[in-house]
Amino acid sequence: MELVWYRHDREAVLAGLRQGKRPDMATTTAAGPLDELVALHDELGIFGTLDAIEVERERAGVPDHLLFHTLATLPFLDEASLSGSSETLFGEPAILLQLGWSPAQIRSGSNHRHRHPDGRRVESLPCHQDTLRDALRRIAESAWERVQSIPVATLYQRRLVDGGVYAIDATGLGDDYRVVAIVCVSTEHPVIVAWQVLEGAASEKGKEAQVTRALVEAVLARGGPGCIRLLLADALYADGPLLAWLKYGHGIDALVALPAGRDLYQDIQQLAAARLISWSRHEYVRVVKGHKERRVVDVTSVGDLTSWESFIEAADEYGHPDARLWGCLIRQVEPQREKDEDFALVSTRSWADGFRALQAYRPRWHIEDDSYRELKEGWGFEKQRWGRDRRAVVGRVALTCLAFNTVQVYRSRAGKRLAKMAIRRLRRQRRAELGRAPVVIYLEGRYGVFALEEVLALLGAPVRESLLPSVGAARPRGLSP
């Protein structure tokens, strides 16, 4: 197949249209939300990082950078499956042009490889979904670490990750895989800053703290020392040596939820039962799935705890033999629920009281409610894994997390400004006088960008009143006086 390259020559296209020549093709360049998300994705370095990714096996036909750009865009679409999202995207020629596909590739496909006996079908233009799936299989799992690292580091460099409170937790992808992630929960829109894909429902068993340590190290490498001030976690992901490593190795405080069976939990309960520490009552309002809920809790707290022996021993190795922990119990009063147990928190930081610690721990729910739940329900994170093998799953997770972060940035005020700048860079051929949805016309090896009103004028049906801004001329070019 011969690729056809078009040169920008507006006047030549205009002359050809006036002579009645038929264009090769035409499309719009409207800048809708998908256009802006793709432009922001590019601005944040995702496409550039994918361009540099190494593949284990070269494939003839479609250039890899086109496949990777396309795969990176698919998570933005409503269809979560690889087939559904690719079919939707392949019906958007303006977006495909933005991703780097040439007009010839969009019209006729990238090569002559196809499986259907009747030849290439519309849904396989510019390429078949199996070609995209094969691209995921050709990327080694280690390569996705770089794809994860560089764009997240860019978010820090652009100051798009704000605040020092982070949370760690895991979510299952069916029975086969789990994703463990650290999320910045300081702001309204959480950002995923590091993640790992583990196999099996009990894949972290016995090494949860090692996973936490590896992810924290990754975040510090991307955001710099001091980017994490407080880490929120369940006890599953925090053992004594990890708490000491966080506190005395990196100056990071931890606030951890304890299960009832821990010695430290029992110690606080016994102190409260003996009335050696006092309870206080507090009321607050929380939002659950968009609904406000009034809650009343009793809290009590105590410092100088030494029951977590592994922490004390590890802190001693860091030169802190007198290290102590702080803990509190939270008892829900309203609304009343059956079989509610006291909720315990332990921390390497001494809080003024238990209620303040509870309020500090509450952002941890952002990782479940605003991250994992949204990824599963809105992005098809769990049901649509784009393939059965591990490489496809790892690639799907990485591309979806990166797209999720781009959307989170886009939803912020700074992100919207950055998206506008990015779309302007990708629309260099647009001019103010062309309006918001100009038309690109391809004709005889040349292309031109025209206002819709100009096209109507060329067809002999000029508009009576123009809505285009007057910029340096009394009327848009191409309109009859």
Provide DSSP, 398-432.
Answer: HHHHHHHHHHHHHHSHHHHHHHHHHHHHHTTT--G
- Give the pLDDT mean for 268-291: 85
Q: Which residues contact 142 (CB under 8 A, 6 or more apart)?
A: none
Domain ranges in the chain with CATH number 3.90.350.10: 161-379
Q: Across residues 369-380, what is the average pLDDT?
A: 82
Q: Which pLDDT score is estimated for 464?
A: 75
Instruction: State the pairing for strand pair 230-234/165-173.
Output: parallel
Residue with tokens 């090569």: 111
- Sign, CA dihedral 196-397-52-162, equals negative
What are the tens digits of pLDDT across the range 235-262? 888 999 999 999 999 999 999 998 887 8
Closest C-alpha to 171, from 148, 140, 147, 204: 204
For 147: left if phi > 0, alpha if psi spans -120 to 50, otherwise beta; the answer is: alpha
Question: Average pLDDT of 465-471?
Answer: 55
pLDDT band at 477 (very low <50, low <70, confident <90, very high): very low
Report CA-CA distances (Å) from 364 to 82, 156, 193, 290, 437: 31, 21, 15, 17, 43
Q: Find out whether 294 and 223 touch, Cβ atoms under 8 Å.
A: no
What distances in angstroms separate CA 124 from CA 57, 130, 264, 377, one per listed residue?
22, 9, 60, 28
CB within 8 Å of 162: residues ≥ 6 apart: 184, 186, 187
- Helix 82-90 and helix 129-137: axis angle, to 10°? 120
The answer to whether residue 465 scores a pLDDT higher than 60 is yes
What architecture is domain 161-379?
A: Alpha-Beta Complex (3.90)
Cβ atoms 344, 357 nearer than 8 A: no
Strand partners, 480: none
Q: With beta carbons less than 8 A apart as the criterion, state whether 182 and 161 touch.
A: no
d(CA 16, CA 10): 10
Per-residue pLDDT at 117: 47
Question: Whole-prediction pTM value?
Answer: 0.79
Measured in whole angstroms, the distance separating CA 42 from the mean position of its chain's CA atoms is 14
Determine how β-strand 446-450 pairs with β-strand 439-443. antiparallel
Q: What pLDDT digit, counting tens, does each position of 422-457 carry?
A: 655 555 434 444 455 677 788 887 777 777 778 888
DSSP 389: S
The string of pLDDT tens digits covering residues 37-48 is 888 898 899 999
pLDDT digits (tens, 9 = 90+) for 173-222: 888 888 999 999 998 789 999 999 988 654 455 578 899 999 999 999 99
The amino acid that residue 409 corresponds to is V
Which DSSP letter does residue 206 get? Answer: T
| Residue 59: Cβ-neighbour burial (10 angstroms; 0-12, 13-18, 19+) | middle
Collapsing DSSP states into helix, strand and coil, what is residue 257?
strand
